[in-house]
Structure 1
Amino acid sequence: MTNYAFKFGYEGSYFTGFQRGNGDHSVEDTIIDTLKASGFDYAIKAAARTDRYVSALSNVFSLETGRSPEAVAGLINSRIDHIYVHSYAEVPDDFNPRHCTFKTYRYYILRQDLDCISLDINLGKFIGTHDFRRFVRADSRNTVRTIINASCKNDNGLLYLEFSARSFLWNQIRTMVAFILDNIGVETDPFSTSERYPRVARAQNLLLWDIYYDGIEFRKVKKIPKKMQGVYENSIMNYILAENLMHRFGIA
């Protein structure tokens, strides 16, 4: 038996969230049930448990198997719609995908009246080590986190906020985004009070972009045409655009 880590993407609208037992059609349930139906009773460990409607381009799960990683990826890719395994790496037996170097999320801003200059005024204030209790749901865990990157980027007219950290708290990114959008052009200290911020930005705009591990090199799945990853990435972006158009015009 060999331990492998797999990078995979999914479109959030088709699932009830990531975590097993979170409704009747979670990402984790779908993967495990598909493997079991094929005669493989695998337990998987996942790096990020995204909420409902949040999509991923590169989440990570690991499992021990006697089969080749190409076979595992091919099984999932051929039998599950809206989930795509695109790369893998052999990892140590004690590998835990949650213990990453850092994760990167992107939150897409679909408004023509904004630019990175206005958004950057407060965005950089989140970088560093802070107590983020104001930006999470009620939680008894330690709320201190270190943000290593918080930046705004313009990709051919499509704005997104990018956040990187080793770990994030529940709803942390979406609440920080709500704060930024509520204070556009006005310099404000996000940590001036510990009172919980009342608004959370929409989940449909959030994308888990990638997860990084020092010393681990992932290989692309060979039996899937390379162009499919670009097609899949585009389908996620089309989903994000469509969800926002429906929201804007009151359809969803």
Structure 2
Amino acid sequence: MYYYLFTIQYDGTDFCGWAKQKGQPTIQGELELAISRVARNSVFRVVGASKTDSGVHAFDQKAWIELNFQPNVEGFLKALNRSLPLGIQVTNVEEISKDFRVRNCKEKTYEYKINLGQNNVFENRFYYLPKKALDLDKLKESLGLFVGTHDFFNFSGLKTEEKEMIETLRTINSIESDLNDDIFKITFKAKGFIRYQIRMIIGACLAYSLDKIDLDKIKRVLNLEEDKMPFIANPEGLMLKKIKY
């Protein structure tokens, strides 16, 4: 068998996330379909580095690919991209060793973008467009609560029974923000994130910036002193920006 690392970019708007689902268009599903078209009757496996949610984008998704044949990499890459739908592109293919662990990365970087300016139909798929004015100082203040090591169960899409199977004690290395040309960008860095974690954090911070909740409420929920809140940010503003090994 032969092993390859794919770098993949995608506009997640029209797809139900990375992970393959029966009867639903997904990034993994489309990639596997493209491989089967390009290399008919081949045997292969695909493992993604990050299971992005429905509607979430990626600039630097990685996938571990096992093939039962050794392709001409340049020709294989071109053929794959011709077979993939609009919105998905494999940007690089490199051969790796069998024991490479695609999910064992050093750090993942996600970006969330909020458009505070005018609508742009050519870019709206990649920004969250708030309906009301945000207090950016409050938004920054609340984001700072989540840096460091916490039990993020209340800021995840996990059910109680899943807590025994998935580690919820996680460390966010940094959360940085900047405003440039009416685009407010929030950058998260960590070794890994739980399902919906970033979107639920941003959802709570947006609620605070709109005076829907107070800061103590966020603290109590983060400390597991109260139950989860109903806030979750829209997916279109979120992008997997970089995976570092």
Q: TM-score, normalised by structure 1?
A: 0.77
Contact 1:103 1:165 in 2 (8 A): yes
Question: Of 120, 140, 144, which residue of structure 1 is paired with 2:140?
Answer: 120
**2:75 is equivalent to residue 71 of structure 1:** yes
1:188 pairs with 187, 202, 215, which one?
215
- Judging changes above 3 Å, is the alpha-carbon distance between structure 1 residues 64 and 70 closer, same or farther for their aligned structure 2 residues? farther
How far apart, in 1, do the equivalents of 2:135 and 2:91 lie? 33
Distance (Å, rounded) in 2 between the aligned partners of 1:56 and 1:23 = 22
* Residue aligned with 2:141, SS: helix
In the TM superposition, what is the alpha-carbon distance from 1:110 to its structure 2 partner?
Answer: 2.1
CA drift at 1:153: 1.9
User: 2:154 matched to 1:134?
Assistant: yes
Could you give the per-residue CA deviations for residues 7-26 of structure 1, whole angstroms, max 9, x where no partner exists? 11111122222111253321
The aligned amino acid for 1:182 is A
User: Which is further off, 121-130 or 149-158?
Assistant: 149-158
**Contact 1:150–1:162 (Cα < 8 Å) also in 2:** yes
> Is the contact made by 1:109 and 1:205 (CA closer than 8 Å) also made in structure 2?
yes
| Structure 1 residue 91 corresponds to structure 2 residue 96 | yes
Quote the offset at 1:168 in angstroms: 0.6
Residues 179 and 201 of structure 1, relative CA distance in 2, 3 Å threshold: same
Residues 152-200 of structure 1: per-residue CA shift (max 9 Å, x gap): 1223321111111111111110000011111128872534232212211
* Cα pair 1:5 1:89 within 8 Å, conserved: yes
Overall identity of the aligned pairs, in %: 27
The partner residue of 2:201 within 153, 176, 180 is 176
Structure 1 match to 2:17:
17
Paired letter, 1:125: L
In structure 2, relative to structure 1, the CA distance for the partners of 1:72 and 1:165 (3 Å cut) is: farther
Residue 44 of structure 2 aligns with an amino acid whose one-letter code is Y
Structure 1 stretch displaced more, 170-179 or 192-201: 192-201
- In 2: Cα distance, 1:210 partner to 1:168 partner: 13
Q: Distance in 2 between matches of 1:71 and 1:50?
A: 28
Report the RMSD for the aligned CA atoms in angstroms: 2.1
Distance 1:158 1:22, change over 3 A: farther
Aligned to 1:27: 27
Name whichever of 120-129 and 182-191 sits farther off.
Answer: 182-191
User: Could you tell me which amino acid in structure 1 is paired with residue 78 of structure 2?
Assistant: G
Other-structure match for 1:4: 4
Within the candidate set 48, 53, 56, 1:54 is matched to 56
- Asked if 1:109 corresponds to 2:114, the answer is yes
CA positional deviation for 1:89: 3.5
Q: 1 CA distance for matches of 2:36 and 2:240?
A: 27
Residue 199 of structure 1 pairs with residue 199 of structure 2: no
1:148 & 1:23 partners in 2: Cα distance? 37
Contact 2:110 2:189 in 1 (8 A): yes
Provide structure 2 residue ranges, at least 5 long, that are not aligned to the other structure: 118-132
CA distance in 1, matches of 2:137, 2:75: 47
How many residue pairs match? The answer is: 213
* 5+ long unaligned stretches in structure 1: 214-252
Question: Cα distance, 1:210 vs. partner?
Answer: 1.4
Letter in 2 for 1:95: F
Distance (Å, rounded) in 2 between the aligned partners of 1:142 and 1:120:
27
Question: What does residue 46 of structure 2 align with?
Answer: 44
Q: Which runs of 4+ in 1 moved over 3 A?
A: 112-118
Aligned mates of 2:103, 2:230 — CA distance in 1: 29
